[in-house]
Chain A
Amino acid sequence: MKLHINKQVLIGLISVLLGLIAGAILMAFTGNNPFMGFTYLFRGGLMNVGRIGDTLSTATTLILTGLSVAFAFRTGLFNIGASGQMLFGGLCATAVGLSLDAPRAVVLLVAIAAAFVGGGLWALVPGLLKARFNVHEVVSTIMMNWIAYWTIYYTIPSFFKGAYDTESRAISKAASLRAPWLTELFNDSSINLGLFLALLAVVLIAVILNRTVLGFELKAAGYNRFSAEYAGMKVNRNIVLSMVISGALAGLAGATFYIGYANTMKIGVLPSYGFDGIAVALLGANSPYGVLVSAIFFGILHSGKGFMNAMTSIPPEIGDTIIATIIYFAATSVLIEKAIDSIRKKFKKEGN
């Protein structure tokens, strides 16, 4: 029998394994039983429907930010600004949710559209700077993150002030992505309609990247802008478009977070989901379906670590350490790749 596993998948799995081993070492180092630790970590994420629901709702936002980063990656851009785009997208969705008085379906659709557009607009700036002036998007998206942070900081109390200066009014049930039937199905968890939005985005992005003329152009511009230009493609437009789509996905993530997972927008917080999205994308090998799987995995870690912490005396930072280690191993995958190759070779030799 011949076992044929995609190399990328194998590298991902090995990275995860190494990350978990690093976590185990740290647990043992602090005098805890790693086996118990992991048991509680995974039980915390999956033990019952309520927890599965929470895992999925965390994953929802991660899928979208991961998709945002992965899409940018595939088109040759490094979007480190998903956090800012998510904030601004979330602000747009919240604004709609708080001010539009219309049937639920309309409010939700408009809010989602607003988040999509908002995130896209926020990414438009780095996109234009990159295309027109060759300003590296890593720096410009970092700047845009802080600009978003302060924009939200001053906009919320000025226009959407809730009980306190530090947060917006709460989104009403009608304008929330949470659906009663879904909430009930998952035993009162934070799962929301955003999940379907995220799944839809995964499929759409996969189709765009792999099957369409648009994807062909965007990837070409990303891989080699000079040959794309040579072939008559509008490279600058494509760079801007890639960045905008990436930002729009992060904007959607904002909608799922601020009017789905949460119901108010708090100021003074730069959501970490944007940075986690980098990890998700990387572990998912920048493929939309890979992102889906790795986001769910991260979702489990994120929602399980609290339970682990409650059951044992293992600090929850272990979860972040595991994720960081996984990313480091994924980044240095050459090492793993070499190991795989040499092992495969050995097997081949022995097989013959």
Chain B
Amino acid sequence: MEYVVEMNNIRKEFPGIVANDDISINLKKGEIHALLGENGAGKSTLMSILFGLYKPDRGQIRINGKEVTINNPNMANELGIGMVHQHFKLVHNFTVTENIILGLEPRQGLTLNLKAASKRIKELSEKYKLDVNPDALIEDVSVGMQQRVEILKMLYRNADVLIFDEPTAVLTPQEILELMKIMKNLTEEGKSILLITHKLKEIKAAADRCTVIRRGKVIGTVEVADTNEAKMAEMMVGRVVSFTVDKKDQEPGELVLDIDKLSVMGNHGVMGLKDFSLQVRAGEIVGLAGVDGNGQTELVEALTGLKKIESGSVKLDNVDITSSSIKERIESGMAHIPEDRHKHGLVLDYSLEENMVLEIYNKVPYSKNGFLNFDAIRKHADKIIKDFDVRSGEGAVSITRSMSGGNQQKAIVGREVDHNPNLLIAVQPTRGLDVGSIEYIHKRLVEQRDSGKAVLLVSLELDEILDLSDRIAIINHGELVGMVKASETNENEVGLMMAGIGKGENP
């Protein structure tokens, strides 16, 4: 049988790490082939090589049986290879059409022929049931739509091989279903798909075959129909993985966080959060589920003081903190693991020890009379490093920019937990981390709960919410659309509510 893509014995080294070590993989015409592996296993690197973004150190690529060298994305395009990146590569103030034709513009004399392009895009969109408006501005359309624009981009370039790098991380369960359908459509039209994902369920649901990669090496390729999720997970990590979090039953205690009818302005001049009320008690984890951009950011920023509150009130331990400063909130026992560890969590050019006192540098013993006490700061950092197993090149004096994402995250979690807060707001605490790190951080969050603290968990990963939470609040368009007990619900129900199909009462 002839393969559309064959990658043989690919090797790619980055300074200090072999990202791809003698990897071979092939793709049949009309199949969906999944790539599975931990963070840093080398999946994206492999696909970047196929797409011409990296040059392999060694190895061979064949397309439709012919050996090729792919030096840049243009060559990949010409060979019929297209790629949807996890972070969409779209220009926000361009229209859909402009984004799609960029790099391959139809011309009419000297000028761009936008009309012809727009017509062709409309046709493609209809053919593959993508439902995209060619004249909309990217900044005005939803994330799901943006992804479909990315798909159109490939189709517009007549790609036969489509690479999806973690396409579902940003979608709602319903959008994921849609995407699966679109992928099936595509394969029926004769396209072949390479799909990178961490989600075993999706592989099970959509893929024909699955290649597992660990530490840059291929562990094996399996027919998906012949295997199950547990087996694939074991291949991936190299040991048996428990999918459930150990969590004792426990009665929640005092009311810690009381949000009452909170409204917050969003980024586009409309209310991002509307009349939102929620309570979190001591000793419980409340999960906030919702599709990205439905008001989670506004809620968290309003709670932590990063954003102004329009109306409503917030009480922490029965004290009104609606108009308190960030510092006051921290001091009254609120801790915050931010969504974006690079933007908010760390000063990347500061050393690890400096980052560990980011909120308490002005307290004794870390400083006295305006002068920093480096010994105390060092001791503090060393303790967190030890307690939370933070690994870095030079210990406390490592510049955080040089640390791996997982360790950066562990450091932040360590710092926040070390404040011994009554309320811990954890936003996407495991984003982009591999299974091992995720397990660890989940354990620490549950520990907080078990020791009688309140935890508000905000995550786009439904699995994470379902696993960790005692109760789940669902947010849609800035409004609370439902509140369910984790033990009494399932993914489907929460997914529907996330899409805005509410479920009556608040328990």
A residues neighboring B (CB under 8 Å) = 211-214, 216-217, 219-220, 223-224, 226-233
B372 touches A232 (CB 8 A): no
State whether A216 and B361 are in contact (beta carbons under 8 Å apart), knowing that A224-B347, A230-B306, A232-B327 are contacts in the complex: yes
Which residues of A are found within 8 Å of B371, using beta-carbon distances?
Answer: 211-213
Give the number of A-B contacts (CB < 8 Å). Answer: 60
Max count, chain B CB within 10 A of own CB: residue among A213, A219, A223: A213
Q: CB of B33 within 8 A of chain A?
A: no
The chain A residue sitting closest to B304, CB to CB, is: A230
Q: CB of B346 within 8 A of chain A?
A: yes
Q: CB of B78 within 8 A of chain A?
A: no
B370 touches A220 (CB 8 A): no
Give the B interface residue count (CB, 8 A): 27
Scan residues 318-362 of chain B and give those whose CB is less than 8 A from a CB of chain A.
Answer: 325-327, 329-330, 336, 338, 343-350, 354, 358-359, 361-362
Q: CB of B367 within 8 A of chain A?
A: yes
A211 touches B372 (CB 8 A): yes
A220 touches B358 (CB 8 A): yes
Contact of B347 among A211, A214, A228, A232 (CB under 8 A): A228
B306 touches A229 (CB 8 A): yes
Q: Separation in Å of the B474 CB from the closest CB of chain A? A: 26
Contact of A231 among B349, B359, B370 (CB under 8 A): B359
Give the docked Cα–Cα distance between A211 and B371 (Å): 6
A232 touches B326 (CB 8 A): yes
Which residues of A are found within 8 Å of B305, using beta-carbon distances?
Answer: 232
The chain B residue sitting closest to A207, CB to CB, is: B371
A220 touches B347 (CB 8 A): yes
Q: Separation in Å of the B372 CB from the closest CB of chain A? A: 6
B344 touches A227 (CB 8 A): yes
Which residues of B are found within 8 Å of A232, using beta-carbon distances?
Answer: 305, 325-327, 329-330, 359
State whether A229 and B347 are in contact (beta carbons under 8 Å apart), knowing that A211-B372, A213-B372, A214-B370 are contacts in the complex: no
A-B contact pairs, 9 of them (CB 8 A): A213-B367, A216-B372, A220-B358, A223-B350, A226-B344, A227-B343, A227-B347, A228-B347, A230-B345
Which residues of B are found within 8 Å of A224, using beta-carbon distances?
Answer: 343, 346-349
Give the docked Cα–Cα distance between A176 and B94 (Å): 61
Q: Separation in Å of the B283 CB from the closest CB of chain A? A: 26
Which residues of A are found within 8 Å of B347, using beta-carbon distances?
Answer: 220, 223-224, 227-228
Give the docked Cα–Cα distance between A227 and B349 (Å): 11
The digit string for B432-473, where 1 denotes a CB below 8 A from any CB of A, is 000000000000000000000000000000000000000000
Give the docked Cα–Cα distance between A211 and B361 (Å): 12
A230 touches B350 (CB 8 A): no
State whether A227 and B372 are in contact (beta carbons under 8 Å apart), knowing that A213-B361, A213-B362, A232-B359 are contacts in the complex: no
Which residues of A are found within 8 Å of B343, using beta-carbon distances?
Answer: 224, 226-227
State whether A230 and B338 are in contact (beta carbons under 8 Å apart), knowing that A213-B361, A216-B361, A224-B347 are contacts in the complex: yes
Which residues of B are found within 8 Å of A212, using beta-carbon distances?
Answer: 370-372
- CB-based closest 3 A-B pairs: A232-B327, A232-B326, A230-B344
